[in-house]
Structure 1
Amino acid sequence: MTTIIAQATDDGVHRGAGSGWTVRAVLFDLDGTLVDSTAAIERHTVRWAERVGVAAGPVLALSHGRKDAEFIPLVAPWADAATELDWLHRLSVEDTEGVTALPGARELLTALAAHHWAVVTSAAREVALSRLRAARLPVPTHLVCAEDVQRGKPDPEGFLRGADLVGTPPGECLVVEDSVAGVRAGQDAGMAVLAVGEAAKATPGGLHLSGVRVRRLPDGRLRLAR
Structure 2
Amino acid sequence: MFDLDGTLVSSLAAIERHTVRWARRVGARPDEVLARSHGRRDTEFIPLVAPWADAEEEFRWLHRLSVEDTEGIAPLPGVRGLLAALDADRWAIVTSAAREVALSRLAAAGLPRPVHLVCAEDVERGKPDPEGFLRGAALLGVPPGSCLAVEDSAAGVAAARAAGARVLGVGEAARPPDRGAHLADVVVRPGPDGALRVSTARSGTRSVAR
CA–CA separation in structure 2 for the residues paired with 1:138 and 1:64: 24
Q: 1:208 deviation in Å?
A: 4.2
Distance in 2 (alpha carbons) for counterparts of 1:61 and 1:36: 18
Identity within the alignment, %: 71
What is residue 204 of structure 1 aligned with on the other side? 176
**What SS class does the counterpart of residue 28 from structure 1 fall into?**
coil
Partners of 1:219 and 1:182 lie apart in 2 by 29
**Match among 50, 53, 56 for residue 24 of structure 2:** 50
Contact 1:110-1:138 at 8 Å conserved across structures: no
Q: What's the CA shift for 1:215?
A: 2.5
In the alignment, does 2:172 pair up with 1:193?
A: no
Residue 11 of structure 2 is aligned to residue 31 of structure 1? no
Partners of 1:222 and 1:65 in 2: CA distance: 26
* Bigger RCO of structures 1 and 2 (CA < 8 A, at least 6 apart): 1
Over the aligned positions, Cα root-mean-square deviation in angstroms equals 1.1
TM-score by length of 1: 0.85
1:30, 1:198 → 2: CA distance?
14
Counterpart residue type for residue 45 of structure 2? F
In the alignment, the residues of structure 1 paired with residue 182 and residue 122 of structure 2 have an alpha-carbon distance, to the nearest angstrom, of: 30
Counterpart residue type for residue 145 of structure 2: G
| Greater helix fraction, Structure 1 or Structure 2 | 2
Runs of 4+ in 1 over 2 A off after TM superposition: 215-220
Cα distance in 2 between the residues matched to 1:221 and 1:168: 12
Gaps of 5+ in 2: 202-210
TM-score (norm 2): 0.91
Say which is worse superposed, 63-72 or 73-82, in terms of deviation: 73-82
Which residue of structure 1 lines up, in the alignment, with residue 205 of structure 2? none
What's the counterpart of residue 80 of structure 1? 54
Give the total of aligned pairs.
198
Query: What displacement does 1:122 show?
Result: 0.2
Is 1:143 aligned with 2:126?
no
Mapped partners of 1:170, 1:69: distance in 2: 26
